[in-house]
Amino acid sequence: MYRINDIFYSLQGEGRNTGRAAIFVRFSGCNLKCPFCDTQFASYELLSGDDILSRISQHPSRFVVLTGGEPSLQVDRALVDLLHANGYELAMETNGTHPIVEGIDWITCSPKGHTVIKKCNELKCIFEESTAAPDDHGIIADYRYLQPCDVQDAQRNANTVERCFQYILEHPEWRLSLQTHKLVGFK
């Protein structure tokens, strides 16, 4: 059984897959307490792998984003095998502090705390007002993104975006990732 906060269908709003139709399976629970986290962990329902499969099969996309919270705390080989056997491509958004089960097709790591993973497809570092340089935790990635941190203050957000923009101009190995879903108002 898996603690699931939400399952919903939308467009991926961040990183390399921005704009792609995706089914989001949001796991409840995390080993960190980030102040900018957008997941409420108190509410969840216990679902089996078959329950999850039943719910995601209601949507036409075959791209599933395992997110959280921290999905690596719950996602296991049985769930990965079940979803792959039913034709789903799996992406995982992780903080990198816990090992990831084999078989995930696309790994996005937003490193926080002590990371144990050393390679991912997409590295997404949060760029805050006080960021001098992003801490990539020595992770090797195919793509490197900086995402300005949304602090719910328009002026501070604008300053952070400007600093992030300038940083990327000076360090072109990074790309800008905006939270498109927040900009256009979708989940």
Q: Which residues are catalytic?
A: 24, 30, 34, 37-39, 93, 181
Strand partners, 28: none
Contacts of 95 (CB under 8 A, 6+ apart): 30, 31, 32, 70, 109, 110, 111, 112, 113, 115
For residue 117, give the nearest of 101, 134, 131 by alpha carbon. Answer: 101
Look up residue 160 and give its two tokens: 């952070």
Look up residue 65 and give its two tokens: 């984003």
CB 82 within 8 A of CB 40: no
Label residues 64-100 b or e (16+ Cβ within 10 Å = b): bbbbbbbbbbbbeeebbebbeeeebebbbbbbbbbeb
